[in-house]
Amino acid sequence: MAVDHGLSVSGLTVRYGGNVAVSDVDVDAPVGRITGLIGPNGAGKTTTFNACSGLLRPTAGTITFAGRDVTGWPPARRAQLGMGRTFQRMELFDSLSVRENIALGREAGYAASRPLAHLRARRVELRQSAEAVASALAGCAIEHLADRPVADLSTGQRRLVELARAIASRSSLLLLDEPSSGLDHAETRHFGDILLRLVGERGVGILIVEHDMELVMRICDHVYVLDFGHLIFSGPTAEVAASEVVRQAYLGGALEGEGAA
């Protein structure tokens, strides 16, 4: 069933030659909620993300976003409809300032709809871009970093810049691929607080791939668990710890404080 104004993945299957990376997976990520997608390395999480964002065409299945079938759409069209994406490996421009990196998130939408927009922006677009950047800086509490080169920032600060760039695009749904990677405990908790505030204040939806189970348990409302490309669990976050199949496949002692695999 399609999720109004959110993402709905039905029967997703992705094959690489004779290998099945993802098999018949269903995932719903509505707006106004943080949805987790977890599983061991090689489970098919990033492949699922790539199919959702249009970086690869699924072998089978349907991807619906904002009430429209976007299965065959390229990434730029999905972004125009309101889908944002971050990557496990951060894609920032070190030679640009924080403000300039974030502005690219807003300006990319203009360029996607009008190829010459990045050469000659309209006055109203310049104003909207400046407003979006200011709002994103405030939302991620990094106004004090606005004019610093990204190359000078810590990993935690860079993660916030990447998130702010996605926010500036005015996306209604964000796909975050292991955003806590490289962060320490305090930075991860701060990052989680920002995500919770973003959903609470702006009503966006978030689908997050994450290995930090403490973060997942604290911020996610619903969790999907993949293992070898198959969906082995779907349910409220509170039920993940009680699932024996999830414990055997992935969690082990993580929820008893031994650390996620």
For domain 1-82+172-261, the question of CATH label 3.30.360.10 is answered with no
Domain limits of the chain? 1-82+172-261, 92-170
Give the per-residue pLDDT at 152. Answer: 94
Q: What pTM was estimated for this model as a whole?
A: 0.86
Written as one letter, the residue type at 8 is: S
Give the per-residue pLDDT at 160. Answer: 93
3-state helix, strand, coil in the chain (%, to 5): 40, 25, 35
Give the per-residue pLDDT at 255. Answer: 47
Q: How far apart are CA 102 and CA 163, in angstroms?
A: 9
Report how far apart, in Å, the C-alpha atoms of 187 and of each of 31, 191, 206, 211, 215 are. Answer: 25, 6, 19, 15, 11
Give the per-residue pLDDT at 113. Answer: 52
Give the per-residue pLDDT at 121. Answer: 56
Tens digits of residue pLDDT in 132-164 = 899 999 989 999 999 999 999 999 999 999 999
Question: Under 8 Å CB-to-CB from 79, ≥6 apart: which residues?
Answer: 85, 108, 109, 112, 169, 171
Task: Please list the ranges in the chain whose pLDDT falls under 50.
Answer: 1-2, 253, 255-261
